[in-house]
Chain A
Amino acid sequence: MALVKLVNVTKRFGKIVALDGINLSIKDGEYLCILGPTGAGKTTLLRIIAGLLEPDEGEIYIEGKRVNGVPPEERNAVYMFQNFALFPHMNVWQNVSFGPVIKEWSSEKIRNVTSEILEMVRLGERRDAYPNELSGGMQQRVALARGIAAGARILLLDEPFGALDARLRVDLRTQLRSLVKDQGLTAIHVTHDQEEALMVADRIAILREGRIEQIGSPQEVYTDPQSIFVMSFVGGANFFDGVISHIDESGSTIELRGGLHIQVLDTTKKIGERVVVAIRREDVSLGKSRRRGFNNLIGEVADAMFVGGSMEYIVKLENGIPLSSRILLEGGSRIFRKGDIVIVSFHPKECRVFQYPERGLLKEIEAI
């Protein structure tokens, strides 16, 4: 049974449609990420589930009960903001035991529950500290502990790592997922960081302009993106504008600007059709010789950057178009330099072909 269910949820702010007919089911124990760029409606969606906003249309169900109009504190869901909003004048222990105290549990039960949860978030040793004495990551765990102590089974996390150091975020997201899974909680986590979503989620819903563009496991969303937008937002890729110039049983040929040709397996398009062909940066290899059965294009390395463990290259192809390649540096990987002439290779199977978008390519890939 779905623990949280949204049916045709729509929310408008004046003329802006923030959410446009959202249908979504979240299973008990599931870790769902809602991923999208700024302004996609992610936070609105989360606030509607929390009860902090009411939808204009549609229904919200939690544990089978319709909760439209039910106040946030009666929804068994805890909403965590980007800023943690702890009580600054209370220490860690007081913050975490706040819910149980309000509920007038016995002092023994309060003590047991609070210490257990503090151990769980690894803050047992800091129980007497005040929020301003804690790091951002610790404050966040206190907020999490407070929500769980108050009985929340559903965590609503709004950019929970937004304010933290990049390196620390990587550590904390793994811990957060383990916590949710170990405690059998359900999490709905809003983020604009695709890497974060890919790493923590059981399923990712990609939101764009108030609609769910695609939903699926991290692997599905990455390996089988249904639109240019999803492919660009999750993982990123090279996108080239071209025309189908030839089709046979082995696939199609796409002609790019400047007379370059790319071979793809896809045969769903027609000769003469304008298309976009997409190739993941990490599917493009650089070398000195042609690879059999691959697309091989010649280019000059225009930029070579080391990005923590990987090399990122921008290669200017013969037609002047830049192509990026990202190569994980493992033992023996060759490093190319700016100005090197290279052969870039990618397999026809790795090329995805999309219909040329009505609004133009740039709009879909959200270029800066």
Chain B
Amino acid sequence: MPEVRLVNVTKRYGRIVANDHINLTIKDKEYVSVIGPSGCGKTTLIKSIAGIIEPDEGEIYIDGKLVNKVPIEDREIGYVFQNIALFPHMTVWDNITYGPKVKGYPPEETKSIAREMIEMIKVSARADAYPDELSGGTQQKTAVARALMSRSKLLLLDEPLGALDLKVRAALRYELRRIVKDLGLTALHVTHDQEEAMSISDRVVVMRKGRIIESGNPLELYMRPKNLFTANFVGEANFLAGKIDKVTGEGAIIDLRGGLKIRSRSRNMNVGDRVVIAFRPEFAFLGKREGENVLSGKIRNIVYSGSLIRLNVEMPNGNAIVIKKALRFGESLPRIGENVTVSIPPENVLIYPYPERGLHRELSLE
């Protein structure tokens, strides 16, 4: 029953605080991903749980036991790295059974577990192959199987798909999740790819500058992010600066540049507050829709990416927004330069306090 609990975990490197009082509980059988920009401390976090790094302060509990001083080999975890670290001179089978052999586990039991693992990751047919005869995806699946041979119920995945081609990565996500769920494991997965995190996990933790700033299930994190940073980091959005004009029982009315007004269902601000409103590009629609914010604009640019198109629309106040839509069967599209009407549902308009260091800098991911 591996539950992982971090209490006030802090790790410093000189003056840099890599992990700043992290409190996090990963429930038994939960699949949790940690995302955040480079340098946010996500790798330090997973290495602390693994026992590769010892925190300066705070406690780490696995299964209710304090493990701060327990060495990595005694923590009963499976650990998978980004760089596939299979032994090149050993076959898939030998790679998988190596750990148990060294530890002197009974050979019959090892064999039967290994057979089960190989079946699980669907590489039975390649058990006699050497790593360099396998695709990157199959190599990484073998690394996962090897990590699971310890029969540990806690799997730590540090950018496990990072070294693979995107297409292979997308396919392996589902495999990875299936393996974890079928075996009833608890998993912590660190990734720089927010889409990967969203599709694979029960819960996503967002880190920034050594702290956890928000966590939630993928859908709620995407639809109702509590922070401007999260809203920007987990997906594309339109961000516009404004001021709260009115707050009513229905929500708020925000004054944008040039006297343009927009309604939101949120009402978490006071009249006169400087704010940023945010809405995802797929929640802005062409055409007039009853009960929504109806604005006029001019198409400035159209970008196709497969079945999705992005329309750049300039509004009368000079603000530009992006509309993302799926190409529907038999639908015709406006042209560049055409005047259009845009509708935005008030329930999809989110409001955040205007950031102290300015909107542009707050949104920069560098």
Contact = CB atoms under 8 A, between A and B. Distances in A.
A104 to B, nearest CB: 34
Interface stretch (B19-27, B187-195, B256-264): B187-195
Contacts of B306: 194-195, 198, 222, 234-235, 282
A192 B165 contact: yes
B219 interface: yes
A329 B282 contact: yes
Q: Which of B198, B219, B307 has the most CB of A within 10 A?
A: B307
Interface in A130-149: 135-138
Q: Which of B136, B218, B235, B326 has the most CB of A within 10 A?
A: B326
B26 to A, nearest CB: 20
Nearest to A235: B306
B174 A308 contact: no
Contacts, number: 116
Interface string B145-187: 0000000000000000000011110011010000000000000
A308 B195 contact: yes
A368 B170 CA distance: 10
A345 to B, nearest CB: 10
A307 B199 contact: yes
B326 A328 contact: yes
A168 interface: yes
A102 interface: no
A305 B199 contact: yes
B199 A135 contact: no
A168 B366 contact: yes
A283 B234 CA distance: 25
Given A137-B366, A193-B166, A328-B282, A222 B304 contact: yes
A308 B307 contact: no
Name the prevailing secondary structure of the A interface residues: mixed
A306 interface: yes
A167 B282 contact: no
A306 B308 contact: no
B304 A306 contact: no
A1 to B, nearest CB: 27
Contacts of A309: 222, 235-236, 280, 282, 324
B193 to A, nearest CB: 4
B194 A308 contact: yes
Contact of A306 (B38, B137, B219, B233): B219
B325 A330 contact: yes
A250 to B, nearest CB: 17
Nearest to B173: A305
Interface string B229-247: 0000111100000000000
Given A165-B192, A195-B306, A306-B199, A331 B345 contact: yes
A305 B174 contact: yes
Contacts of A219: 304
A171 B137 CA distance: 28
Interface in B67-118: none
B303 interface: yes
15 contacts: A135-B38, A165-B37, A165-B38, A192-B166, A193-B166, A233-B167, A282-B306, A282-B308, A303-B174, A306-B219, A307-B199, A330-B325, A331-B285, A368-B138, A368-B168
Interface of A: 37-38, 135-138, 165-168, 170-171, 192-195, 198-199, 218-219, 222, 233-236, 280, 282-283, 303, 305-309, 312, 314, 327-331, 347, 349-350, 366-368
Given A236-B167, A307-B195, A366-B167, 11 more contacts: A37-B167, A166-B194, A167-B365, A222-B306, A222-B307, A307-B198, A312-B199, A314-B174, A328-B326, A330-B285, A331-B348
